[in-house]
């Protein structure tokens, strides 16, 4: 099956990105045809500094490669390297009902969080639909909070197919339920926009300070505690075995344990999980030309697919190109 997903280069990636999405991406590349991209057009809704956007985009690519993405098997590319995507976005906009976009909870949530509303933010789901449909994607691995966007994509694809013929594959969301939402250090969903993230490659004193500063309630050491409302526990169980998770759960409920003890174990687990990837990340930082080559080749492979799909789209809507475009 063809798998498609993108990630915004709007800030440093964090463990919420890893457990909520990237880990799935890396697992899915083994037995599927995977296309993963840096969602640079989407990032324009929040990142206004061109140099920062270029640096963040390269950084996301380095993160993927450090974590084990295989560029021979998987197509890794920048969104802007496939300009056909924005052409498809306009065509899909012309079949997308306004009510569909007005019901998108993500837009409302972002505006409520303080982002300035603009058309790009509002029309985000249409561009996302173009991202998915232009590669005839079968499945899209997403967090639970993005499930509505896949439903919107399916609605747009079905409406287009009903009006113009069966051009697009109707994609399915692929959600790993138990890690769909990863809490940040303040208990809300971990997000760059909230500033509550724990960086994947953070280390040393900075990592320790971040973990030990996780917000908890005021329960005393001897008090029984509910593990399922405790941010340290929810983060801990992402990396522990079922047996260890159950042991911690029992200790929470029995009382006699302070949150500091849980945080220290969480710090150990973060070191165990991510320290093996740090040296690979440093190697990539020393060889950005290699990363650029990977992205250029990925863009070429992705655009080859998008070019063929856009030919079918143009023919379907009555907009065939009357000359041969440059290769």
Interatomic CA distance for residues 304 and 295, integer angstroms: 14
Q: What pLDDT is recorded for position 103?
A: 87
Tokens of 323: 């000359």
Structure-block tokens of residue 271:
């070191």
Tell me 288's DSSP state: H
Q: Could you read off the pLDDT of 221-254 as tens digits, one per residue?
A: 999 999 999 999 999 999 999 999 999 999 999 9
CB 31: neighbour CB atoms within 10 A? 9
Q: Dihedrals φ, ψ of 44, to 5°? A: -65, -15
Strands (E) in the chain, as ranges, are 2-7, 33-38, 75-78, 139-141, 172-174
Considering Cα of 268, then 176, then 30, then 133, what sign does the dihedral take?
A: negative
Residues 6 or more apart whose Cβ sits within 8 Å of residue 118: 45
Would you say residue 180 has pLDDT above 60?
Answer: no
The gap from C-alpha 79 to its chain's centroid, in whole angstroms, comes to 14
Residue 217 has pLDDT above 60, yes or no: yes
Task: Please give the pLDDT value at position 191.
Answer: 87
What's the helix, strand, coil split of the chain in %, to 5?
60, 10, 35
Give yes or no for residue 327 having a pLDDT over 60: no
Q: Provide the pLDDT for residue 179.
A: 58
Average pLDDT for 139-157: 89
Predicted pLDDT at 110: 75
Strand-pairing partners, residue 189, are 183
For 16, 29, 213, 219, 260, the CA distances from 223, given in Å and listed in that order, are 29, 45, 20, 6, 14
Q: What pLDDT does residue 291 have? A: 98
| Residue 325: band (very low, low, confident or very high) from pLDDT cuts 50, 70, 90 | low
Residues 124-145: tens digit of each pLDDT: 999 999 999 999 999 999 877 7
Give the residue among 36, 16, 37 at the shortest CA–CA distance from 26. 36
**Tokens (6 digits) for 211:** 């973990």
Q: Give the torsion through C-alpha atoms of 10, 15, 19, 20, to 10 deg.
A: -30
Condensed to tens digits (0 to 9), the pLDDT of residues 302-319 reads 999 999 999 999 999 999
pLDDT of 90 reads: 98
Return the structure tokens found at 313: 């789209």
**What does the DSSP assignment read for 13-32?**
-BHHHIIIIIHHHHHHTTTS
Q: Is the pLDDT of residue 111 over 80?
A: no
Q: Output the CA–CA distances (angstroms, integers) from residue 248 to 214, 236, 260, in the order listed.
A: 17, 9, 13
Length of the chain counted residue by residue? 327
| 4 and 149 Cβ atoms separated by less than 8 Å | no
Give Cα 90 distance to the centre of its chain: 23
Instruction: Check residue 102 and give its pLDDT.
Output: 87
- The residues carrying an active-site annotation are 110, 189, 192
Three-state SS annotation for 38-107: ECHHHHCCCCCCHHHHHHHHHHHHHHHHHHCCCCCCCEEEEHHHCCHHHHHHHHHHCCCCHHHHHCCHHH
What six digits make up the tokens of 3?
Answer: 């798998």
- Which residues, other chains included, contact 41 with Cβ-Cβ below 8 Å and sequence gap of 6+? 79, 80, 85, 86, 127
Domains, the chain, in order of start with CATH, read: 2-181+287-317 (3.40.50.620), 201-283 (1.10.240.10)
């Amino acid at each position: 099956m063809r798998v498609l997903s993108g990630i915004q280069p709007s800030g440093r990636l964090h463990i919420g990105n890893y457990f909520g999405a990237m880990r799935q991406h890396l697992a899915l590349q083994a037995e599927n045809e995977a296309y993963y991209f840096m969602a640079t057009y989407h990032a324009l809704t929040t990142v206004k500094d061109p140099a920062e956007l270029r640096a963040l985009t390269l950084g996301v690519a380095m993160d993927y490669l450090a974590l084990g993405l295989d560029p021979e098997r998987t197509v890794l590319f920048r969104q802007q390297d496939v300009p056909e995507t924005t052409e498809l976005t306009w065509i899909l906009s012309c079949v997308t009902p306004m009510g569909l976009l007005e019901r998108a909870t993500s837009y409302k949530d972002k505006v409520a969080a303080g982002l300035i509303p603009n058309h790009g933010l509002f029309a985000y789901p249409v561009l996302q639909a173009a991202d998915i449909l232009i590669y005839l994607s079968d499945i899209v691995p997403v967090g639970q909070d993005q499930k509505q966007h896949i439903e919107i994509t399916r609605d747009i694809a079905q409406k287009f197919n009903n009006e113009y013929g069966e051009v697009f594959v109707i994609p399915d969301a692929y959600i790993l339920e138990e890690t769909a939402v990863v809490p940040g250090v303040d208990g809300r969903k971990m997000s760059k926009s909230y500033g509550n993230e724990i960086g994947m490659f953070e280390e040393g004193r900075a990592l320790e300070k971040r973990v030990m500063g996780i917000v908890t309630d005021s329960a005393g050491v001897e008090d029984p505690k509910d593990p399922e409302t405790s941010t340290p526990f929810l983060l801990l169980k992402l990396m522990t075995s079922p047996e260890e998770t159950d042991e911690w759960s029992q200790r929470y409920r029995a009382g006699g344990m302070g949150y500091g003890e849980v945080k220290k174990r969480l710090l150990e687990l973060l070191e165990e999980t991510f320290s093996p990837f740090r040296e690979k990340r440093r190697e990539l930082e020393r060889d950005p030309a290699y990363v650029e080559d990977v992205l250029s080749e990925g863009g070429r492979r992705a655009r080859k697919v998008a070019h063929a799909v856009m030919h079918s789209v143009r023919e379907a809507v009555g907009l065939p190109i009357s000359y041969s475009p440059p290769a």
